[in-house]
Chains A and B, each alone.
Chain A
Amino acid sequence: MNAAAAFFYLFAGVTVASAFMVVASRNPVHSVLFLILAFVNAAGLFLLMGAEFLAMILVVVYVGAVAVLFLFVVMMLDVDFAQLRQGFLNYLPLGALLAIVFFIELALVLTTRFVDPKAFKAAAPAAPKPDMLVTNTEALGRVLYTDYVFFFQVSGLVLLVAMIGAIVLTLRHKAGVKRQDIAEQVARTKATAMEVKKVPSRQGV
């Protein structure tokens, strides 16, 4: 067993175990933390496959943004998960059915692969030969900013619209809220900020 295989089993084992704990743990905050652990290990699996860009994106987007968002929601919304779980057993048959269907599909794919490798090859298009001199990130960058620059820029505009829309529809300037005004802070002088009082002894102010 070489090092790559050892790491594979390490990452895969931790991923499966933490995925199970996401569902099984009682405290929702723990669930989210286990989810983060699963994401990080999945990123490790991607690294082993040589997909370093996907691994980084998984860490940056899912761990950095999505999971943190989950954490905020779980902490702020005060959802009573114990109550949500009460009907859990009622849904068990449906869940089991879905799991069985999914399992059969996976089994079909895998058996086709092992039983009749030719059919599998015919169905899938030939993968491009990896050019070892170019990393995934560089390969993406080469087309993203050249061939696909139009789509890239328009996507940027779509995100701009989303941002403007969110601000227009939700931002409210409330009166009477204390805000930091840096100009005013800087403009303060000793004369406006301080007052020197002579305090007579034994009498107080």
Chain B
Amino acid sequence: MNRQEIIDRIQEKASSLTMGTSQGIDCPEVVVDKQHLIEFMKFLKEDEALSFDLISDVTAVDYPARTPRFDVVYHIFSIKNGQRIRVRVPVGDGDGVESVTCVWRGAEWLEREVYDMFGVTFYNHPDLRRILMEEDFKYHPLRKDFPLEGIEE
């Protein structure tokens, strides 16, 4: 299965769940509304042709001037096809998305990192605590408005 076939398959089976598909520079890219995230992720994993069974990374991008402010980005790998896909979910400041740990259990720590660094909440996450910074740290250091040298206590 090549990249174009992945996009064709998504458009054929799940076009109502997506807000747009495109051919990224390195892999197919899908933008999904946060209401349909879990349904779409379950489709990616359970569809027999696609079989995206390994979550490689969860991260986020901060666009300070944009509303909604963040994109949560999921990189998923299909062991069967040897192909990757990127899923972006726009989410506002102070808001959150549904946790995908119910689809891939391995997303637990990746989501904790995004929560720690960007302050994006993950609903129904089994153990949403900071993972890198100390527990009483008040800020989210990968946001663009956080100074590199930190904030004096």
> Bound pair: A and B?
no
Task: Report which B residues bind A (CB closer than 8 A).
Answer: none
Task: Report which A residues bind B (CB closer than 8 A).
Answer: none
